[in-house]
Amino acid sequence: MSAVAPRSMPTGQRNVVRSNDSASLWNCTLSPGWTQDEVQVLRKALMKFGVGNWMKIIESECLPGKTIAQMNLQTQRMLGQQSTAEFNGLHIDAFRVGELNSQKQGEGIKRKNNCIVNTGGKLGREEVENRRVKHREMFEVEQQVWKSIVLPRFDNPLVVLDRKRAELKALKVELDDVLALLARDAAGDVEQCAMLPAGTKRSRE
């Protein structure tokens, strides 16, 4: 086996080849996931637009290709809790909340995928609002700070796709040219071979 790190495990301690790894372990697909850069962009976007303002984030084109569901899920990870409603509209640093949540422990703290999940059923409207007021006091960044945040803007994925298709087309043309050249050369060899004296041709028997 060659010493190539697994595609399915792009990071982490497991991103090495161990002598006792079976081949099947490496034959798996890359999960979409998020890169560190994308996470940082989302973090800034949440700060700038407020948690839950997904349409504004999408319109800003700072995270092309990401759906609302994906962003919500990633926000849960950053916050360290499943319920995001209590942060709705708040301009916060999700990592700060996540850091505090990661330290929470006790009988009432149930985690799933490292995120604290609600154990007492769905939160009532009033409870959500109460928590939101508390979170605003604790975590919201100053208006002048979040207003000055500048987000990167990426190309529309469909435009990128078109560009890649054009590249592929050009490469195919190039490949055809090379193949044609090789075929011409091969034909030239046959002609030269045919012109050689009979005794110099290699016998197939």
Partner DNA sequence: AAAGCAAATTACCGACTCCT
Partner DNA sequence: AGGAGTCGGTAATTTGCTTT
Q: Interface residues with DNA (CB under 7 A)?
A: 1, 6, 8-9, 12-14, 19-25, 28-34, 51-52, 54-55, 68-70, 72-73, 77, 82-86, 88, 112-114, 117-118, 121-123, 125, 128
Residue 54 vs 146, nearer CB to DNA = 54
Smallest gap, in angstroms, from Cβ of residue 129 to DNA? Answer: 10
Smallest gap, in angstroms, from Cβ of residue 74 to DNA? Answer: 7
- 128/120 Cα distance (integer angstroms): 13
List, in sequence order, the alpha helices (H) in the chain. 36-49, 54-60, 68-79, 94-103, 125-139, 143-147, 157-195
Tell the residue number behind the tokens 């060659």, with chain if given: 2
> 3-class DSSP state for residue 156?
coil
Smallest gap, in angstroms, from Cβ of residue 147 to DNA? Answer: 21
Residue 20 vs 203, nearer CB to DNA = 20
Smallest gap, in angstroms, from Cβ of residue 20 to DNA? Answer: 4
The token pair that represents 71 in the structure block: 């962003």
Residue 65 vs 188, nearer CB to DNA = 65
Smallest gap, in angstroms, from Cβ of residue 182 to DNA? Answer: 37
Residue 23 vs 194, nearer CB to DNA = 23
- 150/174 Cα distance (integer angstroms): 41
> 3-class DSSP state for residue 132?
helix
| Cα 144–Cα 90–Cα 100 angle in degrees, nearest 5 | 105
Residue 125 vs 153, nearer CB to DNA = 125
